[in-house]
Amino acid sequence: MLPFYFEVARTAFRRQLIYRWANLAGLLTNIFFGSIFSYVIIALFHARPVVAGYDVRDTLRYTWLIQSMVMIVLTFGWYDMMLTIRSGAVIADLSKPCDFYWYWFSREAGRAIYYLFYRGLPTYVAGMLLFGFGAPLDWQSWLAFPLSLTLGTALGIAYRMLYNSLAFWLLEARAMGTMFVVIALFFTGSYIPLAFFPPWLAPIIKWLPFNALINLPAEIVLGKVAGSTLLFELARQALWVVAVTLLVRAVIALAARRVIVQGG
């Protein structure tokens, strides 16, 4: 069965290769928004040199890391599965001789790998060239980063499928989907670095699953999480991946039992 899922991922990767111009436009958008945030950050740091252990260079790196990972971990406006539910095409996927969850998971994993090379890396390099903040070079954090990014991506896929499966119950769930994504992005540091949140909120947001999406991999690269804390954080991240994956599988199983297909 494994070669099958691998093939699904490879097909998704290759399908993505076709949209060259769309990717270029998206890349420019990422760079533009990264630049806006950078100007805001540079202006803010005129007032204070260091906040919560972050200086202006750390914060710029953080912002561009987040910008680079957003498309890999939590694609904005992903309603592919929701649309199959609405059109009724989902029944074809449900009757395939493979697991419904791992089928979508493989597709999204293929896309994530595409975005890693064609979106994430170019975005960070562009930010580096525009604002000259370089890259942190600590071998320990670079060793842990691939693992944490992989876990974050797996969690992102599970989360995406969770709000997409709302469509089994709601006719039009796109607005809800947007809200799910925006809340996740907010609590994973894409609007403002998590380190800048009010201190009393910190224990709560660190335990939320969203922390494990993009914030944790970014903090690991920056060397903000090291030693035994690193092990603890990775374990907590893995725990969230397992928990949310099980939850989505349960939701899908529940929906599949009572699904009424629309359309014809």
- Which residues here bind other proteins, judged by CB under 8 A? 21-22, 25-26, 28-29, 32-33, 36, 39-40, 42-48, 51-52, 171-172, 175-176, 178-179, 182-183, 186, 191-192, 196-198
Min separation Cβ 140 and other proteins, Å: 28
Q: Specify the residue, 1 or 47, whose C-beta has the smaller distance to other proteins.
A: 47
Min separation Cβ 55 and other proteins, Å: 12
Q: Specify the residue, 6 or 196, whose C-beta has the smaller distance to other proteins.
A: 196
Q: Specify the residue, 41 or 255, whose C-beta has the smaller distance to other proteins.
A: 41
Q: Give one word for 227, left, alpha or beta, with left for phi > 0 and alpha for psi -120 to 50.
A: left
Q: Specify the residue, 224 or 241, whose C-beta has the smaller distance to other proteins.
A: 224
Min separation Cβ 178 and other proteins, Å: 6
79 within 8 A of 255, measured Cβ to Cβ? no
SS3 state at 27: helix
Rounded Cα gap, residues 223 and 227, in angstroms: 10
Min separation Cβ 2 and other proteins, Å: 36
68 within 8 A of 124, measured Cβ to Cβ? yes
User: CA 50: distance to chain centroid?
Assistant: 28
Q: Tokens for 185, please give them.
A: 């992005």
User: CA 63: distance to chain centroid?
Assistant: 14
Q: Specify the residue, 91 or 192, whose C-beta has the smaller distance to other proteins.
A: 192
170 within 8 A of 176, measured Cβ to Cβ? yes
Min separation Cβ 185 and other proteins, Å: 9
